[in-house]
């Protein structure tokens, strides 16, 4: 987008009681480095009370290439422009045995960890992620989590771990052609496998305070069940999210409002608490209806 378009879109969401803009840009072949800090400055000027969570470590690595600056200098300028957190993307699976087949960029564990370490040294808290359910094996997931846990022991900068379920059925909506070069080798993780991944991740991460379920990638019902399997955070009311909706084939809604999320959390048997990017409590809500929970009932979804 042109920066003016991005600001216009963000301002249009202002009435949604927006607390955070989560921004990723990919590795654009032509945009100059100056586009990125300018975009944050103008978004922050338009929405001064909204937190900016922006850019993956992979993008920061790309910015080093196009700017000639170091990651430390880049982070300093982005923080000055309003950056409050990196995003957790680009992690995928760190083990090279798998990674060489699933990424087409040059940011691997060494640079991903270097950049998050720098961000933590500068006082940023960041999320961490893992993309699972493609060609990796359980041992690769465990290796991935243990690397993150070791880095967390060193820096203490990860606020949350987010397992992301790989979307198998990617079909381009324009022409119907399959774009996934690994299509013949992959099979999306089942709901049961997803819940096992959440449970094992929660047990292994003795030093990361939160585990998040991203309902867009897991579907609403699996997301509810994940709250019973180690997740304590359900991603916020996503107003504009196109990547997975172009990929998935199991009918996640395009948007969940704040009220939708409150209903889902209560219906899973929990009391909702709204937080900001820094995991500070914004508001606490009433819990589930105790009378409805006196006897087992199917969840209303």
Where residue 223 falls among pLDDT bands split at 50, 70, 90?
very high
Average pLDDT over residues 135-147: 97
Nearest to 205 by CA among 270, 146, 274, 120: 146
Residue 221 has pLDDT above 80, yes or no: yes
Nearest to 140 by CA among 91, 175, 180: 91
CATH topology of domain 88-285: TIM Barrel (3.20.20)
* pLDDT one-digit tens code per residue, 91-107: 999 999 999 999 989 99
| Helical ranges in the chain per DSSP H | 3-12, 35-46, 57-67, 71-81, 96-102, 109-121, 138-155, 191-204, 215-218, 220-226, 258-267
Task: Select the more confidently predicted residue: 57 or 171.
Answer: 57
As given in the structure block, the two tokens for residue 86 are 């990196």
Q: Residues 109, 110, 112, CA angle at the centre, nearest 5°?
A: 60
Q: Which of 103-107, 111-115, 122-126 has the lowest mean pLDDT?
A: 103-107
pLDDT of residue 18: 86
Q: What is the mean pLDDT of the chain?
A: 89
Where residue 173 falls among pLDDT bands split at 50, 70, 90?
low
Residue 63 has pLDDT above 70, yes or no: yes
Average pLDDT over residues 20-34: 93
pLDDT of residue 158: 98
Residue 188 has pLDDT above 80, yes or no: yes
**Where in the chain are the domains?**
1-86, 88-285
Average pLDDT over residues 122-139: 96
Where residue 248 falls among pLDDT bands split at 50, 70, 90?
very low
Task: Select the more confidently predicted residue: 19 or 289.
Answer: 19
pLDDT of residue 255: 77
Average pLDDT over residues 196-218: 95
């Amino acid at each position: 987008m042109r920066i003016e378009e991005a600001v216009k879109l963000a301002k249009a969401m202002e009435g949604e009681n927006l607390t955070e803009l989560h921004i990723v840009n990919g590795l654009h072949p032509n945009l100059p480095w100056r586009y990125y800090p300018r975009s944050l400055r103008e978004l922050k000027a338009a929405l001064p009370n909204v937190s900016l969570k922006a850019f993956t470590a992979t993008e920061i690595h790309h910015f080093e290439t196009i700017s000639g600056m170091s990651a430390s200098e880049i982070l300093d300028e982005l923080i000055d422009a309003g950056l409050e957190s990196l995003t957790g993307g680009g992690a995928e699976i760190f083990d090279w045995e798998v990674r060489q087949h699933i990424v087409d960029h040059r940011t691997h564990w060494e640079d991903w960890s270097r950049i998050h370490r720098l961000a933590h040294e500068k006082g940023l808290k960041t999320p961490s992620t893992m993309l699972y359910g493609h060609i990796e094996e359980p041992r690769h997931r465990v290796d991935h989590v243990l690397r993150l846990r070791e880095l967390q022991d060193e820096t203490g900068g990860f606020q949350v771990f987010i397992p992301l379920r790989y979307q198998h059925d990617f079909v381009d909506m324009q022409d119907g052609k399959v774009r996934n070069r690994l299509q013949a080798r992959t099979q999306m993780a089942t709901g049961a496998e997803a819940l096992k991944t959440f449970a094992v991740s929660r047990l292994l991460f003795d030093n990361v305070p939160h585990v998040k379920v991203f309902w867009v990638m897991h579907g609403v019902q699996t997301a509810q069940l994940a709250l019973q399997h180690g997740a304590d955070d359900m991603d916020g009311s996503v107003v504009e999210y196109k990547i997975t909706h172009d990929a998935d084939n199991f009918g996640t809604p395009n948007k969940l409002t704040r009220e939708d999320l409150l209903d889902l959390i209560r219906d899973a048997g929990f009391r909702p608490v709204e937080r900001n990017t820094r995991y500070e409590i914004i508001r606490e809500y009433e819990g589930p209806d105790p009378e409805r929970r006196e006897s087992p009932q199917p969840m209303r979804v």
